[in-house]
Amino acid sequence: MAQALAWNGTTWQKLAAPALIIVVLAMMILPLPPFLLDILFTFNIALAMIVLLIGLYTLRPLDFSVFPTVLLVTTLLRLSLNVASTRIVLMEGHTGPDAAGKVIEAFGHFLVGGNYAVGLIVFIILVVINFVVITKGAGRIAEVSARFTLDAMPGKQMAIDADLNAGLIGEDEARRRRAEIAQEADFYGSMDGAAKFVRGDAVAGIIIMLLNIIGGLTIGVVQHGLSFADAAQTYTLLTIGDGLVAQIPALIISTAAGMVVSRVSSEQDLNQQLIGQVFAKPQAVFLTAGILTLLGIIPGMPHVAFLLMAAALAGLGFWLMQRQAAAAAQPPAEPAPPPEEPAEVGWQDVTPVDRLGLEVGYRLVPLVDRTQDGELLRRVRGIRKKIAQDLGFLVPPVHIRDNLQLKPGGYRITLKGVTAGEGEVQVGKYLAINPGRVLGTVQGQATQDPAYGLPAVWIDASQREQAQTYGYTVVDAGTVVATHLSKVINEHAPELLGREETQQLLDHVAKQHPKLVEDLTPKLLPVSTVQKVLQLLLEERVPLRDIRTILETLAEHGARTQDPEALTAAVRAALGRAIIAEIYGGAHELQVMALEPSLEQILTQALAGRGAEGMGLEPGLAERLVRDTQNAVETMSRNGLPSVLLVSPPIRALLSRFLRRVVPDLKVISHAEVPDGRSVRVAAMIGA
């Protein structure tokens, strides 16, 4: 039942427009019987009347923004009917005046009295009126309106931005106004081009009429043996009827086009504006009645017509004067209440900064639009879920919004209101990323992967399989944005773990281990200290999944110290098995880098001399330490080994913070973190 309703309510609407276009084009190829031609000609006239009436009751041109497309479809329909009727006229015209249907016969006989000369002149007059007057004027109005609209767009955009910055309108209203400005420019530009359809239709009507007359005369005389006079009478009347039945709807559609583009946006339709403005001045009506009276009494003039119209206008003017007098006698309406004083600026006017935001250009809006089931929304939810499983805490929601200041395919990732990453993608194409070793090259737009900076190429969907065969990593636009977002979140995870997230994490643990959380905070440690310890762990990519062990260790050492560095060292020792397993997996032997003993002693003394202020190193020694560490990391990487430096516990934290700035992938562990049962082998020595 639900499927049936979906078919009846939605699917047929999606198929209606393609089906109509296919049927219109089919009429140019398939022969149609006269009865069906009558139905289609009648439908064409009815459609033209509907369009004209919609134009009459439209308040603003944008209320009928689909009009350029309607203009194209109706023009195509008329030309298809001309082709279909021409086929019947030339093939069956010798059988009688109703060979092409009753509608063409009626327009050929009753409207022009069966006189083909009169019909020819009427047809040419209609074409000239449509082509020279109405269509040309409507096209000129649309052209000028499009030009003025484009010239005024920057000023309108600035006015919207000013209202938005002043707080007079909201972000949604500003977005709606910007879209309306762009739609207005598109409408007048489309109308300027659509006017060419009607002008071309008029030219095609004249050519089709001439071809029908010449072809009909030739076929009637040569093939069917008719006399020249009979052939001229029969085929010319049929041709004139065919032309009139097509040109009258064309004239109606052109009139509607002129009315739509010449409208000024108002709260009244055309009928109300005509009555309210044309007949708003009784003096003008009385003056016109007087002039007609003078003309009516001149000898030789049609007295009845002029005097009758003068009397009607005088009566109309008298009625308008009485109406205005009655309106003036009514008591004045109560004055409108004075506008409220603008409210004082308060805290509600301070917009909070998004912890995590994603801004997209207008071409990426479908990827994040809920109504269009944007795939990027699902990916963002998946990213948050994956990071929560990997890191052990729930990152803040990603606030997604469109930003018209970005490039159409651009995006920007913000962290606490500051740009943390940005890039540009091409919707509908795929990004072929070169991981380092590929078997060939693919044609496309060369670029870089926004997340990791790898060389890449934007390719079409048809090249996807070829690129994968060559060894490229091929992803779509949504995956590119999602990957970049995931990288930014992982890199800035410590900043995203705020006080509120820490409290939510403790509340979640308290549901299963209430006594543990109760004994830890706030009795031993404040939430701020717990937050700092968790942030220090995240800075070195230590997940918080084993939150119970972390809190138990803090509860055990919290009575002796509240120093976050010391507490973090104790937690790392308790998590040593998980830290080593994250790096080495199940390997029994740990191949590490180590400091030369004398260098480690110097660093320990430097730390002891500065205390909590940090490690004071001589510039030459610091430079050599960095250089030797980079060389050792390259050696480990060539041998396929992880870059891990094993040092004594006192200097681990400061040495990790110092070296991580220049060697981001380096992991520094202490002897206290190596679990029992694992052997250690030094694969590279630093400072030897």
- Please report which confidence band the pLDDT of residue 669 belongs to, taking 50, 70 and 90 as the band edges: very high
DSSP 219-236: IIIIIS---HHHHHHHHH
Helix (H) or strand (E) holding 357: strand 356-360
Average pLDDT of 639-666?
Answer: 88
Strands laid side by side in the 473-476 sheet: 445-448, 455-459, 430-433, 473-476
Query: Strand pairing partners for 432?
Result: 457, 474
pLDDT at 263: 59
pLDDT at 283: 74
pLDDT at 489: 92
Cβ–Cβ under 8 Å, residues 675 and 574: no
- Please report which confidence band the pLDDT of residue 271 belongs to, taking 50, 70 and 90 as the band edges: low
The one-letter amino acid at 540: E
pLDDT at 612: 38
Average pLDDT of 95-101?
Answer: 63
pTM summary value: 0.52
pLDDT at 93: 61
Judge whether residue 274 has pLDDT over 60: no
pLDDT at 536: 92
Strand, coil or helix: what is 431? strand
Tens digits of residue pLDDT in 147-188: 666 666 666 777 776 776 666 677 777 788 777 777 776 666
Report DSSP state, residue 441.
-
Low-confidence winner among 194-203, 315-324, 541-550 (lowest mean pLDDT): 194-203
Residue-level length of the chain: 688
pLDDT at 613: 43
- How many other C-beta atoms lie within 10 A of the C-beta of residue 254? 29
- Please report which confidence band the pLDDT of residue 194 belongs to, taking 50, 70 and 90 as the band edges: low
Average pLDDT of 661-672?
Answer: 89
pLDDT at 149: 65
Judge whether residue 424 has pLDDT over 90: yes
More confident: 228 or 569? 569
pLDDT at 423: 93
Cβ–Cβ under 8 Å, residues 229 and 27: no
pLDDT at 3: 44
Alpha-carbon distance of 312 to 608, in angstroms, equals 111
- Please report which confidence band the pLDDT of residue 233 belongs to, taking 50, 70 and 90 as the band edges: low
Tens digits of residue pLDDT in 339-378: 565 566 676 767 778 889 999 988 888 888 877 777 888 8
Average pLDDT of 491-501?
Answer: 90
Work out the mean pLDDT of the chain and round it to a whole number.
78
More confident: 318 or 329? 318
Judge whether residue 582 has pLDDT over 50: yes
Strand, coil or helix: what is 338? coil
Tens digits of residue pLDDT in 278-290: 566 777 777 777 8
Cβ–Cβ under 8 Å, residues 205 and 127: yes
Low-confidence winner among 17-21, 557-561, 603-607, 639-643 (lowest mean pLDDT): 17-21
Judge whether residue 213 has pLDDT over 80: no
